Amino acid sequence: MLPLSEARITIVGLGLMGGSLAGALRGKCRQVVGVARRSETLEKALALGFIDQGTTSIAEGVQGADVIILATPVRTIIQQIEELAPLLPPGCLLMDLGSTKRDIVAAMEQLPPYVQPLGGHPMCGKEKAGLEVADPELYRGRTFILTPLPRTSPDALALGQAIAEAVGARPLVLEAGRQDYLVATLSHLPYLLACALVATADATTSSDPAAWEIVAGGFRDTSRVAASDVTMMVDILLTNQDEVLKAVRVYQEQLHRLAQLVAAGDEDKLRAALGAIQRERLRMFP
Amino acid sequence: MLPLSEARITIVGLGLMGGSLAGALRGKCRQVVGVARRSETLEKALALGFIDQGTTSIAEGVQGADVIILATPVRTIIQQIEELAPLLPPGCLLMDLGSTKRDIVAAMEQLPPYVQPLGGHPMCGKEKAGLEVADPELYRGRTFILTPLPRTSPDALALGQAIAEAVGARPLVLEAGRQDYLVATLSHLPYLLACALVATADATTSSDPAAWEIVAGGFRDTSRVAASDVTMMVDILLTNQDEVLKAVRVYQEQLHRLAQLVAAGDEDKLRAALGAIQRERLRMFP
């Protein structure tokens, strides 16, 4: 494996995640090549100084690449792994930025033996999508999960870690299944809750014009992630179905328990339950 | 009713809400009197310039007051309305800042006929409590709900509106039952959801040390209000039980519907449902 400073890095997909990564890596490696479907996106990325060169052809983009990073929605990543398999340069590192890792790692298992695969999932994002909101500082201070395969060499993993560190993130190595379990509760569940909250307001209070004047900070924060990119979220939910549904079931039990305490009007038990939760929240975010 | 500039205003409870209101009203009325249980709180409020004078005696505090504003938890407000009934100066305006209004307005109905009662609920707050986090700018730009009783005179309501405007808020007149219905979905439900989310993470992922490195912006925002003051929230939930439980039921149905779409793996229906929710969220917060 080359050191990062000598690597030619191809980033497939120049939306929020890929565009931000390109901008953050440019200057820290030999070259950043961007691949996008539309030439206007490439022109914009060039104008922003995020890439050294661009192409709308993924086959052309991966030629001569030392590192290829797929920054598309999860199921597109899986398709691209299959499509790229015969086109990948020997010795290259193939990474991705998808939020679920089990299916992606399974697809990576099928790659030719001369390719080094490494799953990646940086814990950042915005509720807006696209190159317009990309920011080379997006990754700074965030955790960048890496899910190596048994076949991933220590050198390839080290290069992945160097990439995470180069963009200001903290690499965290996890097994793919464990990452999918954790993010189901910590990331995908909050999205579904936010969606159900917006749907509840839509079904009830939103017909009252006063609702729009009342809706305040608590609702805004709790529902923020419901504005996330739908294509990205559909892919995430459908490639992490089991873990997400398990998390929803635990959540429904917890909500039911709290609602029962409210219904029973048992002040002491309600206070104890809410107090324990408040302390846990303060422990999570001191 | 005196104009606001000539009024002596007594604020009972100098926590986040009462302290902030005192600081915002000082200088815009004749005098701000603070009532707190502990003399240290009064000293702090005096040092911050939030009050002109203070007392630990509520009976003393309401003497000679033109306006009395109860800024304590909802069930304490209800007790204080009963305790204060024989002590209130004729012609005074009695307001409160409680988040639920039906029970408070019912208690206000019992006040002597020479008192003008007016329910109030400013739509602001923080997940931290106490005078330490009070801020005279807290109310600026926020909606300040007012729930007059049939017995509330137009002059008394106008003075309540003037108070809301004096602190930079937008007064919004609502019937108490309608306000309790709306805030159940728009404020109390988000609190319970946030609590159930924290409880879910506590029951599942929090035993994995990696969870603490992964937990990101989505979880933080969705769970923020779970850190709210427990005494305040217990009072709110127990004085708005019916509306809160109704909102939870609608919410559980909406979450169940989304979980079923994930379980069915029906991409088109899932995309349509999430897309409609995303558009609704953007409509709420453009």
Which runs of E-coded beta strand occur in B151-216? 170-173
Same domain, A45 and A22: yes
The Cα diameter of chain A in Å comes to 68
Considering only the beta carbons, identify the residue of B182, B221, B273 that sits closest to A224.
B221
Return the SS3 of B5: helix
Chain B residues lying within 8 Å of A170, measured CB to CB: 213
Record: contact B277-A182, CB cut-off 8 A: no
Considering only the beta carbons, identify the residue of B182, B231, B259 that sits closest to A245.
B259
Q: pLDDT tens for residues B197-234?
A: 999 999 998 889 999 888 877 899 999 999 999 999 99
Closest CA in chain A for residue B185? A201
Q: pLDDT tens for residues A214-255?
A: 887 789 999 999 999 999 999 999 999 999 999 999 999 999
Structural domains of chain B, count = 2
- The CATH number that applies at residue B127 is 3.40.50.720
Q: pLDDT tens for residues B33-54?
A: 999 999 999 999 999 999 999 9
What's residue B127's pLDDT?
Answer: 79
Confidence of residue A194 (pLDDT cuts 50, 70, 90): very high
What's residue B101's pLDDT?
Answer: 98
Residue ending a domain, among A126, A142, A174, is A174
Residues B61-81: what's their mean pLDDT? 98
Same domain, A145 and A189: no
Chain B residues lying within 8 Å of A202, measured CB to CB: 277, 280
Mean pLDDT of chain B: 96
Same domain, A62 and A192: no
Q: Is residue A8 within 8 Å of residue A31, measured between CB atoms?
A: yes
ipTM over 0.85: yes
Same domain, A14 and A134: yes
What's residue B212's pLDDT?
Answer: 87
Q: Is residue A251 within 8 Å of residue A193, measured between CB atoms?
A: yes
Q: Is residue B213 within 8 Å of residue A143, measured between CB atoms?
A: yes
Same domain, B101 and B185: no
What's residue B162's pLDDT?
Answer: 98
- The CATH number that applies at residue B199 is 1.10.3660.10
Record: contact B216-A259, CB cut-off 8 A: no
What percentage of chain A carries pLDDT values higher than 70?
A: 100
Residue ending a domain, among A140, A174, A208, is A174
Confidence of residue B93 (pLDDT cuts 50, 70, 90): very high
The nearest CA of chain B is from the CA of A102 a distance in Å of 17
pTM (two decimals): 0.92
Contacts with A94 (C-beta within 8 Å, 6 or more apart), sequence order: A67, A68, A70, A81, A84, A88, A108, A111, A115, A116, A117, A118
Domain with A83, as residue range(s), is 4-174
Residue ending a domain, among B129, B149, B175, is B175
Record: contact B282-A227, CB cut-off 8 A: yes
What's residue B267's pLDDT?
Answer: 95
